[in-house]
Structures are given as structure tokens and as C-alpha cells.
Amino acid sequence: NVNNELVSTGTSFTTAGILEDAGEVKCPLTTGSRRRKKRSTESSTVTFQLVSVTNDGVTYSDTVATASYDSACYTCTTNGSNVVCQLRSDICVVDGSCYSSTSSECSTDSDAATASLIWLVGVVIGLVTICVIVFLAFKWYTKSKSVGPSNRKGDAELQDRIKFDAYEIYPSPNVPPSYHQVDKKALYDD
């Protein structure tokens, strides 16, 4: 079947049939092995055969058109003497094979792109979260390590607890440096 036209392969064969009653004969429509083929639109296309019956091998009945198809891939209907076959709407074809449209083989490229985008957003959010945690941990660590009053003029009790001798070097030109004691209250007054 090419472009909805029947194409003859020129192959004919004869096979034995079983007479069921005066109006019915059963016979296999294919020759060779009866192995089940992989469901595929390439290997299991709709095949039409012209069938006729004979009792003596010389006189044949009128031919009847039959359609052989994989019902997992196609639906075929008859309209008078016409047979119409279409690919089923609830399947998808991937690499020539038929799958149910709900199977994982039928996922589209947009599904893969969406999954990639979700993964990328997750990584970005994760990295931002880690950066915020590291920043907050650093701020907490440096704040807990600070020593001394936060307001040097405002905490008189703390200033009285500080006991130290502060010396300041006053370099003078052409005179060796000397040490002078500095009044600690002067450090806190501007």
C-alpha cells in the first residue's frame, strides 16, 4: 500500500484449507513460519490478499480481498466492498514500532525539555540556598568572634573593667623614640 494505492508483489501461493460448512473455508493466509513479529508499522503493515477457493485445483471461485494487519497499530473497517485501514489514534510510532500513547516510549521531546528545565531550576535553587547558608554562617561566625564594647563611650562599667597600660611611641626627629604612658580615658574621648 503506497499512497493509499494497492501495489502487487506478484507473489501467489496455494495452501490447503479446511471445509467448515458449505459456505465457509478456513486456511492460513501466509506461508512460512507462524512466529509473531515485532509490532512495527514497517514490518507489519496492512497487507491485502486476493483469496479464491478451488475443489479440484483447476476451477477457482471469484476472488475476495482480505486485509491482514496488526490490530495494535491499525483499525480497519469495511464500507461496502472497500476496506479502509488507519493508524490507531491511541498509539504512537517510535522507530517503526507501535506503542500505547500512555507508555514511556511515547514521551515527546517537549517532555524531555521540560524535565531538563526542571532539573536545571533545581540545581540553581540548590546553589543559591547553599550560598545563602554559607554567607549566614560566615556572618554568625565573625559576629560571635568580635571582642570589646560595641559603643566605647556608652558602657562605663565595661570600661572600668578594662585594665591595661597603654603606651604610645612618639618619634621625634633626631631623637630616639621614647615611651609615654597614655591615659586610658583619653582613648574613649574624641
Residue 89's pLDDT is: 86
105-114 long-range CB contacts below 8 Å, 24 or more apart?
A: none
Number of domains in the chain: 2
Distance between CA 171 and CA 153 in Å, rounded? 29
The model's pLDDT over 57-91, given as tens digits with 9 standing for 90+, comes to 899 888 887 778 888 888 888 777 677 888 888 88
Question: pTM, whole model, 2 decimals?
Answer: 0.39
Residue 163 included in any domain: yes
Mean per-residue pLDDT of the chain: 71
Could you give the CA distance from residue 30 to residue 37 in angstroms, rounded to a whole number?
Answer: 13
Residues 24 and 100 in one domain: yes
Are 25 and 88 in a shared domain? yes
Out of 106, 129, 147, a domain closes at 106
Q: Does residue 100 fall inside a structural domain?
A: yes
Structure confidence at residue 134 (pLDDT): 94
Give the pLDDT of residue 189: 56
Q: For residue 129, what pLDDT is reported?
A: 96
Q: Same domain, yes or no, for 100 and 162?
A: no
pLDDT at 131: 95
Are residues 102 and 161 both part of a single domain? no
**Which residues of the chain have a pLDDT value below 70?**
1-8, 30-45, 81, 107-113, 144-190
For residue 67, being part of any structural domain is answered with: yes
Q: Which residue, 70, 89, 106, sits at the end of a domain?
A: 106
Question: Is the same domain home to 95 and 161?
Answer: no
Does residue 65 lie within any of the structural domains? yes
Question: Is residue 141 in some structural domain?
Answer: no
In a domain, 24, yes or no: yes
pLDDT of residue 40: 40
Kindly state whether residues 100 and 161 are assigned to the same domain.
Answer: no
4 within some domain: no
Residue 150 lies in a domain: no
Per the structure, the complete domain to which residue 173 belongs is given by: 157-188
CA atoms within 13 A on the CB side of 43: 10
